[in-house]
Amino acid sequence: MEALKQLLEVAPEVQAALDENRPVVALESTIISHGMPYPQNVETALAVEDVIRSNGATPATIAVIGGKMKAGCSREEIEHLGKSGTNVTKCSRRDMPAILARSMDGATTVTTTMLIAHLAGISVFATGGIGGVHRGAEVTMDISADLEELASTPVMVVCAGAKSILDLGLTLEYLETKGVPVLGFGTDELPAFYTRKSGFSVDYRVDTPEELADMFLMQRALGMPNGMLVTNPIPEEYSMDKAVIDKAIEEALAEAKRLGIHGKETTPFLLAKIKDITGGDSLDSNIRLVFNNARVASLTAAAICRKKKA
């Protein structure tokens, strides 16, 4: 851990907030380099940071730049990630040794954002949706590293549920096995990323950021090593019709199978294909749900700080 800290650069603004027990919210960088085209990716990344600031917290966009783990990227670094796009390596846990040793750039996934956030002392992370157990995983064994990270890294992840391209039932079973609490913010039902309902129940419904803070702090007091998953439904006005998105997912899955897409290329391919099929509606929904998650994460991070002072 000490050796890793020498490779960690915490932005002065972020470090000052942490030192003064002010709320900080981590953000991933894969959405910048692999999530959408330039300049929309940079505009969206900066807009998410603005949402966090407007809700009283400090944003910390996380990435690997030149072999350094960055907890808080500058505007110039975000611009670099956006312009470089998919030339930046999508960096999961298994990629970290190579990316750091070779002084490369890496766009962090949920997994590596959690890892670096924890190393920097950041407890709350807002993203779009987590990875999970892929459909057909009983044959392919395609299970996202996000789930293992949630099982071993004590960070609260605020998302709009697992991506609906996944097997949501098996994803919940996996999280239960690993002891990761799945909370629904204002809902009893697991959100399905583009839509507000999935047909699967969460472990507990939570209606306020204060209650989320209480549960997270209790988890830490108990010394549990795992993270906490907060699922926050996409706002009603941006939710997509379930029949439309389900049809798009089935078409995208069939195309991926035909082309032999697998491994870490699967999710970016499917999301891009769904965007094309829906005429860009899915991307618009994706952006709006990230804004909503950033807001809830900021309010929760602030509540955690208040309770630590009390």
Residues labelled as active-site residues: 28, 163
- Beta-bridge partner residues of 64: 69, 106
User: Does 59 sit behind a cis peptide bond, omega within 30 degrees of 0 on the bond before it?
Assistant: no
Q: CB–CB of 158/232 below 8 Å?
A: yes
Greatest Cα pair distance in the chain: 57
Handedness of CA 28, 34, 39, 41 (dihedral sign): negative
Residue 50: count of CB within 10 angstroms of its CB: 13
Q: CB–CB of 294/27 below 8 Å?
A: yes
Question: DSSP string spanning 258-284?
Answer: HHT--GGGHHHHHHHHHHHHTTTHHHH
Q: CB–CB of 82/33 below 8 Å?
A: yes
Long-range CB contacts for residues 10-19, cutoff 8 Å, separation at least 24: 10/60, 10/71, 10/72, 10/120, 11/60, 11/70, 11/71, 11/72, 11/73, 11/74, 13/58, 13/72, 14/58, 14/60, 14/71, 14/72, 14/120, 14/122, 17/57, 17/58, 18/120, 18/121, 18/122
d(CA 210, CA 139): 42
d(CA 173, CA 178): 9
Residue 8: count of CB within 10 angstroms of its CB: 13
Q: CB–CB of 27/157 below 8 Å?
A: no
